[in-house]
């Protein structure tokens, strides 16, 4: 790796550290800006030198400096994941002026999805504070992105949100039970805003496939609860991220296979 790639990786991990704050504080309706980071157990403020992504975790041996409470490895996972995706964005879009602008837009979108993934895994909710502003923000971004037009974005919003809404309403009508949360509907509308209707179809397909592959073994192992509720948001997010990096390649491969 050259210096620029190392810098981008570290920059991404720093953003990942901030995303950890968002994952913890947004569901609790706390400010993501103030106060500064502190240990959830002893509430001692975390110093700058103890807040270096990944490195501080290693130096502290995964424990709080003050109370020695174990720090969840997921903090490191989020930092590494965000750093690697930042590097992947750089390698995909390059360092031209347009590449930087488009790369930052997609990185902001992916960062929002990372927060959604882990909040949905923990609490089975998708915060409106992310998706509702995200829909108009990423629709506006369609005017500067080269891979999508504003009309593609608009159709993506309507088809994304509308398709899941109809599926959920149909399921509820047939079974009398809620089958698709409105959080998923708003999430897919936000996804459609930035990757369009083609991306929505791809996201639903990949999300459903990965959800099935993960969900069936989980339900089998949870024999006492074959109706185990599995959040769909993470799988939709994985589908959308996959589309950004590999969508055209996978679609081309699929049609060639047919």
Retrieve residue 28's tokens.
Answer: 């609790």
Q: Rounded to two decimals, what is the model's pTM?
A: 0.91
Tens-digit pLDDT string for the chain (258 aa): 799 999 999 999 999 999 999 999 999 999 998 888 888 888 888 888 889 999 999 999 999 988 999 999 999 999 999 999 999 999 999 989 999 999 999 999 999 999 999 999 999 999 999 999 999 999 999 999 998 999 999 999 999 988 777 776 776 677 766 656 689 999 999 999 999 999 999 999 999 999 888 877 877 776 655 556 688 999 999 999 999 999 989 988 888 887
CA distance linking residue 36 with residue 193, whole number of Å: 33
Apex 105 CA angle, 101 and 107, nearest 5:
115
Kindly list the domain boundaries of the chain, sorted by start residue: 1-92, 96-258
Question: Are 79 and 21 contacting, i.e. CB atoms less than 8 angstroms apart?
Answer: no
User: In which element (H, E) is residue 73 found?
Assistant: none
């Amino acid at each position: 790796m050259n210096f620029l790639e190392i810098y981008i990786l570290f920059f991404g991990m720093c953003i990942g550290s901030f995303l950890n704050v968002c994952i913890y504080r947004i569901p609790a309706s706390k400010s993501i800006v103030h106060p500064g980071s502190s240990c959830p157990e002893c509430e001692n403020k975390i110093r700058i030198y103890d807040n270096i992504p990944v490195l501080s975790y290693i130096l502290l041996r995964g424990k709080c400096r003050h109370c020695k409470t174990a720090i969840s490895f997921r903090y490191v996972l989020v930092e590494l994941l965000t750093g690697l995706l930042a590097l992947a964005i750089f390698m995909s879009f390059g360092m031209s002026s347009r590449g930087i602008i488009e790369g930052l837009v997609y990185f902001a979108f992916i960062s929002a999805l990372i927060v959604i993934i882990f909040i949905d895994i923990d609490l089975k909710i998708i915060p409106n504070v992310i998706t509702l502003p995200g829909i108009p923000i990423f629709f506006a971004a369609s005017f500067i992105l080269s891979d999508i037009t504003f009309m593609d974005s608009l159709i993506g919003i309507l088809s994304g949100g509308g398709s899941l809404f109809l599926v959920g309403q149909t399921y509820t009508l047939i079974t009398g039970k809620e089958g698709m949360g409105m959080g998923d509907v708003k999430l897919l509308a936000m996804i459609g805003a930035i990757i369009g209707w083609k991306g929505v179809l791809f996201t639903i397909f990949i999300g459903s496939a990965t959800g099935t592959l993960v969900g069936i073994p989980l339900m089998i192992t949870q024999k006492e609860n074959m109706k185990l509720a599995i959040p769909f948001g993470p799988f939709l997010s994985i589908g959308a991220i996959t589309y950004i990096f590999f969508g055209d390649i996978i679609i081309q491969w699929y049609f060639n296979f047919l």
